Amino acid sequence: MSSGLDDLPLRDELRGESPYGAPQLDVAVQLNVNENPYPPSERVVAEIAAAAADAARTLNRYPDRDALALRADLAAYLTADGGVDLDVDQVWAANGSNEIMLQLLQAFGGPGRTAVSFAPTYSMYPEYARDTHTRWVAGRRADDFTLDLPHAHAVLEQHQPSVVLLASPNNPTGTALPLAEIEAIVDAAPGVVVVDEAYGEFRRAGVHSALSLLPDSPRLVVTRTMSKAFAFAGGRLGYLAASRAVVDAVRIVRLPYHLSAVSQAVARVALANADELLHAVDELRAERDRTVAWLRSVGLQAADSDANFVLFGTFPDRHAVWQGLLDRGILIRETGPDGWLRVSIGTAEEMAAFRRALEEVMG
């Protein structure tokens, strides 16, 4: 007897869908999911192992449901990075900022409600909306990937979203939004405005974090992750900063004990070693700026980037270019508007290999 998805009472809107994710291929140079290329040092590895062992001694017990010690550490880190005082009850943590975002949609989206973003942007946003039965509306960005404010205002006016999602720096374009534009959206939006700063630590000098807007904006939420700059993608730790009321709302929908004792303990070690784990950020920013300049010098377009990746193109057949690079051992991402490709910033050697391979592919 055949038993496939068709025989199951799968929700109608999930029929024909496939799970999200870039190909996980075993390739020498992996520049496709915006990871930090540097693994932790043996010293940090040993501290993480010791903290995991410590947590293991009480694994018969449930972890701290409210992750208070970890949230206090995160609040201290954000206070230092963003220059605003944040209290532990203005910070919330979960298994990656993907879970944070889902919790936000669970709390503020739902049937009869609308979430809005401006494309091209992070391709997971429509999935959070779908999974929470929230109507999804994608406005558009301008040709240079900045926000088109008059258009954005029109979309907000027409759709009255309970949630607006703004990635800044944006994925896959790398574009950061000026604070004045975020303020304008917060003023115009009837609901919650989420600024996804997954790449916040990579912003260029003079580009500011939306954290500084929090004291005056009770409906603003800033999300961050340890997956990118922190070189902690495998640790699965994302977090948000917002008003106490937003944190209270998210706590209503979170699953009990969602963040394991091991996750909490290990993330605290990573935060205690922030200086070391973040040490490569300046180097990666410089390598990013060099990559943008090089791509332009060979006649390609490259979007200005405040993140650890660059969107470049355009190619009449981008898949052929992606495949040509893969054939040479370089895995990048086929994403973004037609004709564009995205490369994550790796080590200097990896970027040299990328440049050599791309020159070959372009003939």
Ligand X SMILES: *Cc1c(COP(=O)(O)O)cnc(C)c1O
Q: Which residues in this chain contact ligand X in the complex, by CB under 6 A?
A: 34, 96-98, 122, 167, 171, 196, 198, 225, 227-228, 233, 238
Tokens in use for 321? Answer: 């270019």
The structure tokens 């208070």 sit at: 68
> What is the closest distance, in whole angstroms, from the C-beta atom of residue 239 to ligand X in the complex?
9
Choose between 196 and 201: whose C-beta lies nearer to ligand X.
Answer: 196
State which amino acid sits at residue 258: H
Choose between 166 and 357: whose C-beta lies nearer to ligand X.
Answer: 166
Q: Which residue is nearest to ligand X (CB)?
A: 96
Choose between 217 and 225: whose C-beta lies nearer to ligand X.
Answer: 225
Distance in angstroms (rounded) separating the CA atoms of residues 346 and 325:
15
> What is the closest distance, in whole angstroms, from the C-beta atom of residue 303 to ligand X in the complex?
15
Tokens in use for 343? Answer: 């490369």
Decide if 295 contacts 312 (C-beta within 8 A): yes
> What is the closest distance, in whole angstroms, from the C-beta atom of residue 167 to ligand X in the complex?
4
> What is the closest distance, in whole angstroms, from the C-beta atom of residue 53 to ligand X in the complex?
25
Antiparallel, parallel or unpaired: β 309-313 and 301-302: antiparallel
> What is the closest distance, in whole angstroms, from the C-beta atom of residue 290 to ligand X in the complex?
22
Burial label for 222, CB within 10 Å (0-12, 13-18, 19+), is buried
Distance linking the first and last C-alpha atoms of the chain: 53
Distance in angstroms (rounded) separating the CA atoms of residues 50 and 307:
33
Decide if 224 contacts 200 (C-beta within 8 A): yes
Decide if 124 contacts 101 (C-beta within 8 A): yes
> What is the closest distance, in whole angstroms, from the C-beta atom of residue 24 to ligand X in the complex?
14
Indicate the angle between helix axes 149-159 and 179-188, nearest 10 degrees: 20
Max Cα separation, the chain? 63
Choose between 67 and 198: whose C-beta lies nearer to ligand X.
Answer: 198
Choose between 109 and 238: whose C-beta lies nearer to ligand X.
Answer: 238
Which of left, alpha, beta for 282 (phi over 0: left; psi -120 to 50: alpha)? alpha
Choose between 219 and 236: whose C-beta lies nearer to ligand X.
Answer: 236
Closest CA to 318 of 336, 298, 297: 336
Distance in angstroms (rounded) separating the CA atoms of residues 31 and 311:
12
Choose between 97 and 209: whose C-beta lies nearer to ligand X.
Answer: 97
Choose between 31 and 361: whose C-beta lies nearer to ligand X.
Answer: 31
> What is the closest distance, in whole angstroms, from the C-beta atom of residue 197 to ligand X in the complex?
9
> What is the closest distance, in whole angstroms, from the C-beta atom of residue 300 to ligand X in the complex?
22
